[in-house]
Amino acid sequence: MKSRREFFKSAAALGVLGASGLPLRAAENKVESVAAGDDRSYWISVTDKIARPVLENLSRRELKLKMPVEEQPGAKRASCTHLEAFGRLICGIAPWLALENLTGDELKLQQQFTKLAQASLDAATDPLSPDFMNFSDGGQPLVDSAFLAQGILRAPKVLWEPLSPTVKKQVVSALKSSRKIPTPDRNNWVMFAAMVETALLEFGEPTIEARLEDCVRKMLGWYAGDGAYGDGDFFHFDYYNSFVIQPMLVDVLQTLVKHDARFTNAQKIILQRARRFAVVQERLIAPDRTFPSIGRSTTYRFGAFQALAQISLLRELPEKIKPAQVRCALTAVIQKMMEAPGTFDANGWLQIGFCGHQPALGENYISTGSLYLCAAGLLPLGLPPTDEFWSAPAAKWTSQKIWSGENLPVDHAMNDTRNVEVPSLKR
C-alpha cells in the first residue's frame, strides 16, 4: 500500500479532478489494498472513494444530473434514490466529520468533506435547488429523512450549529414534511418516524408522541431476547437489527435522556442489548474475511455491521472483545467487499451487489442510492487515531481464535426483561 502521506497526496489530486467536473474513474480513485498497521489510512481511502462522487456532485447541485440510477426494471426509484445516497452517506461519515484535533493531510481531507457536506445540506433542502430532494412523496422518503437526521445528530457541531439560519430552516422544513407519511406500526419503520422526531426535538421543535415515544414503545415491545429485536411481531433472520433497529434505538435514547432524565433506565437497557448484539456481530466474521449473506438488503454490504461499529465508536465494547480485534475484523470485511470487481462502475458509483456487481440481489426497493448505507460501517473513524481502536497492535478476531484452536471461554446468551418503561416527554 502507499504510505499514509502518499495516499493523501493522491486524495488531494482527486479533489482537484472532482472540482473540475471531470468524472471520477475507477483507475483514478482506486481503493488501495490494506497493509499491516495502516488500517486507518485504508478506511479513509474507502471513505473518499464512496463519499466523493455523492458530495462533490450534490454540493454543485448536480447529483440528479450525474448519479446513475441502477434498479430493477420498472422499480421507479428515481424520485427517492438521491435522498437515499445523501442521507445514508451522512449517517455513516458524520462522526469522522465531527472528530476534533486531527492534523496534517487527514485534517485537510476532513475539512474538505465537511464543507462539501454543509453545502450539500443546503442543496438538498433548498426548494429552488435542482437537487431539492423528495422528503414527503411516497413512503421511502421517511426512511432516508431518518438516516439524514441521524447523521446530523451524530455531528451537530459541524452539520447543524455552523449552518446559516436559512439552511437550518430548510432542514427543519424538510424533516417536518416527512410527517406527511403515516406513522408506521408493523415493522422497523417505527424507528424512522422516531428518529426524525428526535432530531426535531434536538433542534428545538415540538414533537409528536405518536411518532416518537409511541414508536419507541412499539419497537421495544418486539424484543425477542438475547439482545435482538423482532422486525414487527416476528424475528427476521437478516441484518435489520444492525441496519436500523439497534443504532437508531441507541441514538434516539441518547438524545431523549438529555431532555428528560426519566428515560435513563430505558437507555441503559437498550445499550446493554446493543452491546450483546455487538458480541454476536463480531463472531459472525469468519477467519477468511467473509460473513453470511442472509435475508434481504444484503446489497448494503458492510453496513450490516453498523451496530458493531457504533458500539466501538461509543467505546462500549464488552471487556472480552478488544477494540483491535474489531478493527482487524471490520478492515478484513471492508477490504474484501470494496476490492471485489464490479463494486463500483467506471465513474466511481456503487453498483448493486454484496461482493461485486450482482444485480439479482437488488430487491425492487433497491437502487444506486440505497447502496450508500455501507458507509454506516465506517463509524469508528470518529475515534481519534490515538484511540486504542486504531493504535493497538493487530489482533485476531473471535472466529480466527476459535478456528486456530485457541481455548476461549463459552459464549452465553443474555437474559433480561422484555418490559421497558418509556415515559412521555415533558412537553
114-166 tens-digit pLDDT: 999 999 999 999 999 999 999 999 999 999 999 999 999 999 999 999 999 99
Which one is predicted more confidently, 203 or 418? 203
Alpha carbon 377 to chain centroid, angstroms: 6
The pLDDT value given to residue 160: 98
The pLDDT value given to residue 426: 86
- Distance (Å, whole) CA 284 – CA 172: 39
Mean pLDDT of 57-80: 97
Q: Would you list the domain boundaries of the chain?
A: 35-403
Mean pLDDT value across the chain: 92
Whether the pLDDT of residue 200 is over 60: the answer is: yes
2-54 tens-digit pLDDT: 444 444 444 443 333 333 332 333 333 444 445 545 999 999 999 999 999 99
What is the DSSP-derived secondary structure letter of residue 241? I
Note whether 359 and 367 are within 8 A (CB). no
The pLDDT value given to residue 321: 97
Note whether 119 and 90 are within 8 A (CB). no
Count of other CB atoms within 10 angstroms of residue 233: 9
209-244 tens-digit pLDDT: 999 999 999 999 999 999 999 999 999 999 999 999
| Percentage of the chain lying above the pLDDT 90 cut | 89
302-348 tens-digit pLDDT: 999 999 999 999 999 999 999 999 999 999 999 999 999 999 999 99
What nine digits make up the cell of 117? 457536506
What nine digits make up the cell of 100? 476534533
- Distance (Å, whole) CA 15 – CA 141: 30
31-62: buried (b, 16+ CB within 10 Å) or exposed (e) per residue? bbebeeebbbbbbbbbbbbbbbbbbbbbbbbe
- Distance (Å, whole) CA 94 – CA 281: 22
The Cα-based distances of 386 to 102, 170, 381, 392 in angstroms read 10, 37, 11, 9
Count of other CB atoms within 10 angstroms of residue 180: 12
100-128: buried (b, 16+ CB within 10 Å) or exposed (e) per residue? eeeeebbeebbebbbebbbbbbbbbbbee
**DSSP-assigned states of every residue in 260-320:** -GGGHHHHHHHHHHHHHHHHHHHHHS-TTS-----SS-GGGGGGGGHHHHHHHHTT---TT
Which one is predicted more confidently, 379 or 1? 379
| Percentage of the chain lying above the pLDDT 70 cut | 91
Torsion angles phi and psi, residue 33, rounded to 5? -70, 145
Please give the torsion angle defined by the CA atoms of residues 248, 256, 225 and 144, in that order, rounded to the nearest 10 degrees: -20
Domain 35-403 falls in which CATH fold? Glycosyltransferase (1.50.10)
245-275 tens-digit pLDDT: 999 999 999 999 999 999 999 999 999 999 9
- Distance (Å, whole) CA 87 – CA 47: 15
The pLDDT value given to residue 342: 98
Q: Give the model's confidence band at 379: pLDDT under 50 very low, under 70 low, under 90 confident, else very high.
A: very high
What is the DSSP-derived secondary structure letter of residue 346? T
The pLDDT value given to residue 417: 75
